[in-house]
Structures are given as C-alpha cells and as structure tokens.
Chain A
Amino acid sequence: MNFLSMAGNTILEVNNLTTIFRHENQVTRAVDDISFSLQPGETLGIVGESGSGKSVTALSILRLIPNPPGKITKGTILYDSTNRGEINLLTLPEKELRKIRGMEISMIFQEPMTSLNPVFTSGVQVAETILQHLHVSRKEAKEMVLQLFDEVKLPRPAEIFRSYPHQLSGGQKQRVMIAMAISCSPKILIADEPTTALDVTVQRTILDLLREIQEKHRMSILFITHDLGLLGGFAGRVMVMYKGKAVEQGSSIEIFRHPQHPYTKGLISCRPPLDVRLKKLPTVEDFTSGDNGKIGLIQEESSRLFSLQNIQSAEEREKIHREIYSKPPIMTVSNIKTWFPVSFSLFGKPLDFMKAVDDVSFDVYSGETLGIVGESGCGKTTLGRTILQLVHATSGKITYEGVNLGKMKAEQLRNLRKELQIIFQDPYSSLNPRINAGNAIMEPMIVHGLNGNSRQQKERTIELLEKVGLQPGHFDRYPHEFSGGQRQRICIARALAVGPKLIICDESVSALDVSIQAQVLNLLNDLKRNFGFTYLFISHDLSVVRFMSDRLIVMKSGKIEEIGEADAIYAIPGSVYTRELLSAIPKPFL
C-alpha cells in the first residue's frame, strides 16, 4: 500500500514539507518545501534565526503546530517505526500518532521555565509519560523516574521528584525535561533550542549530557538552534534555514570551513570572533543583498571586512587606552551594596536579605566601554540600576563628576538623568505600543525641556532617526510595525535624545538575532566614536562583551570576581571562575 519508501538505514525522512500560518487574510509560508533525512544515532543540526522556520519544522514532525492558524499543506514525513514499520506521520490518525509522541519520538523545548506544568511536581510529570506508554505500576514508574533523574545527573533524585518546577533552577528544569523525553527510550529526540535560555556554563553541561545519553541509547537527535557555534562540536550534519527555506545542507565541518551560501557565510562571520579584535563586525547584509529576499554575494564589501585593516592591533588599542586612562575617572563607585529583604518578621522588619550587589567598587573613565559580565543572578543588572538610582543602594557611595548621587535631591537627580541613560534588554516591552516612534524619542526632550520649541524638537528627532539608521518616514510608525532590531534602534535614539554622556546598555543585544546583533553593536560603536560616549556594557554573552569592552568586570554572586583590561582577562583569566566561564564558550572548529 505504501508506495513511498525510504532509502535503507534511514529512520526519518522529511520530503517537501510545507507549513503555512494564516493570520486573517495573510498567509505566511513558515516552512517552505523542506527536505532532509536522519540516520540512526546521528545528530542533525538545524540552524536559523528567528522566523526562519526551524522550530516550526521541528513541531511539524509530531504535528504539534497549533491549528488554526498553522497548517501543514504539503509533504511527507516518513518514519521507520519499531512496531508499525514505515509510516507517514502526516497521514497517521491522531490516536496512532499519540503512541509515537513521547514513546518513539520525543521533544525538549527552549524554555524549561514554562515547559513544565507549575502545579505538578516534577516527578509526577515525568512519571506521567511512563504511565502513558509503558504498562507499569505507579510504584515501578516512580522507581524508573528516580533512575532517570540519576541518569540526567540531578542531585538528590528523591528530593527533586517531590519538588515543583519553581523550586528548581533553569538547568535542573531542563534536566527534568530531558529525563521526561528519554523516559521511554525514544528513537528520535527533537531538541528545540534546549540551551538558549540557560547560562553559558549550564549550557555546556546540558550539551555534554545530551551527547552522553545519545551514545548510551543510540538515539538520533534533531538539534535546533540559532547559534551556529553551538553545533560545531555537536552535530555531524547541519542544515541552515533562512526564511522558511533550507539554504545549505552538509557535514558541519564542511559548512564551517567552506560555507557555500552567502547567508551561511554571513551567519558564521557576524559573531564576534574570540581570536582577533575587529573594528567593525561583518553583518549578514554585507554578504547578501536584502532585496526581495534574493541572496547574492557582495564581494567587495566582505573582502574589506576581512582585510587586516579591520583588525585592531594591540598597539592601536594601547594608544587609545593610554589616552582614556590618563584622565581622572568620570564616575567612582565605592563599596556599593544593594540588598533586597526576602523575609520579614511579623512586624515588617526584614530578617533576611538577598545580597544582589555586595560591596562593589570600581571607577569608570570617560570614553571607555566598561563591560560587566556574569551569569544570570550575579547582580549585574541590579548594579546598573543602582548606578542610575532606579534602585536604592543599601549602603555605599556613587560619585559622578564629583557629585554624590545618593545625596542628590529629586530635582537635581532629574536634571542628571539627562547625562545618564539606559538601553534595556527587550526592545519589545520597553516601547509603549500606543506611542509612535517619533513621539517616543521626543518625549524625553519634552520632559527635560531640551532643543527649543516643538518644531525644533521634531527636527532633532528626525536627525536622531537618521543617525541610528532609520528613515524620517519612520517618525509616525508604531512599535509593532518595526522589527526587533529597528525597535532597539528606536530605544537607542530615545536614549540619545537628551544628549547623555554615560549610557548603560543592559543586555541591549541579547534579545536580538545574531545578524541584527552585529548591526546594533556596530551602531553603538559608531555612535561612541562620533559622540564620545562612555558605555557600561552589561551582558551575559562573553563574545559580545569582549568585542565591545576596553575593560571588563566579571561578577559572581553580587561580588566582583575580576576586573581588568578585557583582552588580558581573556588571554590569562585571573580567577578560577573566569576560566570556567571562558572555557564554556562554545567553539566551532578552530
């Protein structure tokens, strides 16, 4: 009956898969005619930026696309089932498919925080999968779960079994998810950005765990990620997706060493390199002409970016630094402590504190970019907010140009806010959806009474829009009409509107795709060169921080672990923690 058949020794074969999303009358082809196959025990990586259709491809395999609005319109997904032989997952009745889900093909997802049900203990949730598919008693299932927890290296399995998701850390939750996924010894594991939401050191351990489990159970893994660097040592073969299409497919070594497609080339080179210090990052646009999504190599531009002129030598850097650090510091932070009370006595007296920032001191020099790096929860964001007086320090002193910020009156502080600005992480939530781009940028000028009358303010706003690489016509548009990168440009323009001297970039590029990240980083550096800003650049991304920073602060649990010249720290880490952090950066073939 089944006239379609797979090549021998293939476990999964996807042919011409097309998935569309219908929003009102608009049809988007999220996945457009994708074909690939998976061998037993193999890892296939699917790489692409947000909106490239990589997650939709993964979800389409188990038909987990929310319908409506999503619909698989074309293609076959042939799977070599243990008991049923070769079957097409797209035409399989829902009831049969449910026996495949979790049993023969299982998934782990990007957000371990939201992928577990908050109202059940983690043990119960894993046991549920086992009870669904295997004919075992509750007691046996519990035993199996405890074994699985041990296998995914969770400490104290019995305790984790009884814990609710919110009582576990992000890494632990992802381990619980992995335990759930491998509980019925599936033949295929689909991992949809399993490490994106995790810290870099945790990411490393999760990848090691996946590799170990794969070897032990001889599973095939379909690994979806936006980070090419991650796949280097992990996936045997890689498929690169762009706007719903597969643009390149091949062994990962080949793709890293000799990328054929311009988009792949751009993707590989727009990540800040760790070996050399570039003046300007290449962007995907340097490799592709963006018109109508048509891709063609712009030879001239890319060759310039890879030339020696774009590499900043140690001598050049030293010269710049000598100039910056000869002057007295613009800001001095001394012994800052920011503690948040976590438990109270009956009469509201705080009993215990979360020491977000604990006795931190450093100087900031005019014209430098001071990077602050650390894992989530290390206090880097609180530190930034304390400096801006958005959060009050428990004790300590911050002097800016000789004035103690903590002692300032509200009125003085408001004047000072002109000089100290912040660009937040999430460009989606830091713009009010009901205020258009122009007015968002103009608002701080109006508040501070800057740049003359409203006509002059508007002119200035248009000037700013152009400076951050947007068009004057964007003035009247609303945030939802912009892409993520464009929104972050608006946020930058808004910070520039009041003529600041010191700008705190709090994870300003973390929510953006790598190619857009490169553009925004270049923009920040251009602006700095033109206006002589000082940046406090807060990020968890070690490569990005290195590219941006003159000096670097490494933070851990509220304290400064290490402070010094950025390149020097990367070359010879001074503390054990920094070394650990740096060794966890995923490295493609070097």
Chain B
Amino acid sequence: MGRFILKRFFYGILVLLGVIVINFFLFNVLPGDPARMMLGQRADIASVEAINKDLGRDRPLVIQFFNYLNDLSPVSIHNASDPESYWYLDQTKYNPVVKLLPLPGKDVIVLKTPYLRRSYQSKRMVSDILAEGFVNTIILAIVAMTFAVFLGIIIGILCAIWKNSFIDRISLVFSVLGMSLPSFFAAILNAWLFAFVLGSITHLNMTGSLFSVDDFGNGEYLDLKNLILPAFTLGIRPLAIIVELTRNSLLDILSQDYIRTARAKGLSKFRIITRHALKNAMNPVITAVSGWLASLLAGAVFVEFIFDWKGIGVVIVNALEKYDFPVVMGAVLFISVILVIINILVDIVYGMLDPRISRKS
C-alpha cells in the first residue's frame, strides 16, 4: 500500500510539471500586454519598458520560464545581495523564507512557500487572492457533496431494496429531473422559491457569502445560513446521479453468487445489504463523487455568481475577463494540485474498499 501511494505521488508530480510547462508557455503566447493593462492605453514608452523590466518580460522566454519554476519550487536558488538581479531574494515576494545553504558567490539555497506572483490588477499576492476564494469554495463543495452522498446512498439503497415500488419510481422521476436541471436555473429557482416566496418562513437571504459584514461597523461575522441554498443547489445533480448509481450498482451486486452465500449463512437482509453488498457496490459511486468533488473545488461559477458567494470560480472569471494572467495561471496550477490530491485519495479509498485493486495476488 505504501509503495502504491508513493508511486501515485510520483506520477502526480509529473502531471504537475506538465501542467506548469503548458500553463507558462500558453499564457506567454496569448495576446495581451500586461504593462499596457496596468498603465492604461495612454501610457508612455518609458513606463511600459520599466514595468516590462520589472516583470522580467525583457528577458528570453526560457530564462523567464526557469525563473517561474524557481519561484514555484519550495526549494529554490536566489541571489541574496544584489537587488537589481533577476534572481534576487526579495522579501516582499518570498515570505516566509528559510535560508538552507549558502552557495559559493552570492547565491543561496532557500526553503519558501511557492510564489505565484502578483495580480496585474490589484497588485495583491495571487496566493492570497486564491486562498481567500478557496476557503469559501471548499466549504461550499464539501457541504454540498456530503449532503448529496449521504442522502443519495440512503435513497439509492431504499430504491434497490424496494425495486419497482412507488419510492423507486418517484425517485427515478426526480433523478431525471435533477440531472437535467441546469445549475444556473436551479440556483435562480431555489433563490426565488426559498428566499423570496418563502423568505418570511425560512429567513434565508437570496444572496450572501460565508462571512457577512456587520452593518454597525463591527467587521465580518460568520453567516452559516447563507451556505444552505448554494450547497443545496450544487448538491442536486450529484444527488440525482448518486441515487441512480447506488441503486443500479447495488441491484447488480445483489444478484451475485456471494450474496446467495450470505443468505445461505442465515444473515438478515439488512446485514446482507449493509455489510456484503454496499462495500462492493461503492466503486462506481466513489468514481462519480470524486469527479464531482474535483469539479466543485475548481469553482461552481454559476452558483457562486448567482448567490454572490465569494469563491474561487468568481475569482477566475474576473481574472479572465481582465487578462489578469498571474491569477489565472495560479488558479490553474492550484486546481491541478487539488485534482492530483483527490485522485490519490480516491485511489487509497478504492484500495480500502476492494483488496483486489492495491494488492497483488
């Protein structure tokens, strides 16, 4: 198992390297001059050149790429003394920094948090911008998926036990409806129905993020009830899919020979389903859940927009609109890291559920 995880980890790093290369060169061939964007259309040539020099854009692309890699790597080499150097260890960029080993000359090897550059627009650190949005997104995604997984598996089991019953048929209808409902429409519908029409009963807001600003100047406070509607909206489609997957996969498993063996042992129906069938039936569900979780963590743009939820999806859309490449590049990299981590986690879960996957016979 340990070797298996190590191997997956190694592949994950390879994938990330590939993403970095494509990411960097793609955004350097795209049109759009950051200096012009920062200064406006009427800037003079001297200022434009100054900014290009500051960003290192006057250097060859390959050098720029290595500089970018050096910035991203947690262990990197920097020039410690000359502030004019392209490789200067600038405390405003790299913070916190631990100097590991001085090299001959002025260079030094340091340990640092990856530096994702600064936004062209707001001049803020990209890592700060992403971290802010990501906290909101991760909470929304996890709550939505937890809701979908728990309810979905339970309804799926009920449908499998009472196949072709009233419950089964009704949930099939709702599943089809849930799967075919576009998220932006579901978002508007839910906001209108639960926060506007039924607002006086539910006391929910039509829009709002995880933190609300106090009207009396006491700063931000946690506003958990704003989580309900976006999480519910995001959970509808995964819920519908999980219900159907659990039901079908469970029905398939229930016709297997080892279920007959379990019945011949004298086990109760409840125990057969919860112990013998469910563990076998979970693989397709895990695949679906991981896919959904990954895509939700990459930001649910429509839902975030409609509910004014300050998540990573909104950050990316805003950055794209303004050609704010450092933010977009940072976000792409960030999302890749998340996907790689989720994939490794899912492989571990598969291995725990089914010993045939990770062990060699």
Contacts and interface: CB of A to CB of B under 8 A. Distances in A.
Interface of A: 59, 62, 64, 66, 98-103, 106-107, 109, 111, 114-120, 128-129, 132-133, 164, 166-167, 177, 180
Contact of B279 (A101, A107, A119, A166): A119
A129 B266 contact: yes
Given A109-B260, A117-B276, A101 B265 contact: yes
Contact of B261 (A66, A116, A119): A116
A115 B265 contact: no
Given A118-B354, A119-B353, A164-B359, A100 B258 contact: no
Contacts of A167: 359, 361
10 contacts: A64-B260, A64-B263, A66-B255, A109-B260, A111-B257, A117-B258, A129-B265, A166-B361, A167-B359, A167-B361
Given A118-B354, A118-B355, A119-B280, A99 B257 contact: no
A118 B264 contact: no
A119 B256 CA distance: 13
Report the interface size class on chain B. 20 to 34
Nearest to B279: A119
B265 A118 contact: no
Contacts of A62: 264
B252 to A, nearest CB: 13
Interface of B: 255-258, 260-268, 276, 279-280, 353-356, 359, 361
Given A119-B280, A167-B361, A101 B257 contact: no
Contacts of A128: 265, 267
A120 B268 CA distance: 18
A347 to B, nearest CB: 12
Given A114-B256, A167-B359, 12 more contacts: A62-B264, A100-B266, A101-B264, A102-B265, A114-B257, A115-B257, A118-B280, A119-B280, A119-B354, A119-B355, A133-B266, A166-B355
B263 A115 contact: no
A30 to B, nearest CB: 16
A101 B266 contact: yes
B88 to A, nearest CB: 38
Nearest to A129: B265
Contacts of B268: 98
Of the listed residues B255, B266, B279, B354, the one surrounded by the most CB atoms of chain A closer than 10 A to its CB is B266
A109 B261 contact: yes
A99 B266 CA distance: 6
A105 B361 CA distance: 33
Of the listed residues A109, A133, A177, the one surrounded by the most CB atoms of chain B closer than 10 A to its CB is A109
Given A164-B355, A164-B359, A115 B260 contact: yes
A126 to B, nearest CB: 10
Majority secondary structure, B binding face: helix
Contacts of A177: 261
A233 B266 CA distance: 32
Nearest to A112: B257
A166 B356 CA distance: 7
Contacts of A132: 265-267
A117 B261 contact: yes
Contacts of B265: 101-102, 106, 128-129, 132, 180
Contacts of B261: 107, 109, 115-117, 177, 180
A38 B280 CA distance: 38
Contacts of B353: 119
Nearest to A111: B257
Contacts of A98: 266-268
A143 B265 CA distance: 19
Contacts of B260: 59, 64, 109, 115
Contacts of B280: 117-119
B295 to A, nearest CB: 28
B267 A107 contact: no
Contacts of A100: 266
B23 to A, nearest CB: 26
A100 B356 CA distance: 33
Of the listed residues A100, A101, A119, A180, the one surrounded by the most CB atoms of chain B closer than 10 A to its CB is A119
Nearest to B269: A94
Nearest to B355: A164
Nearest to B257: A114
Nearest to A118: B356
A73 B192 CA distance: 56
Contacts of B355: 118-119, 164, 166
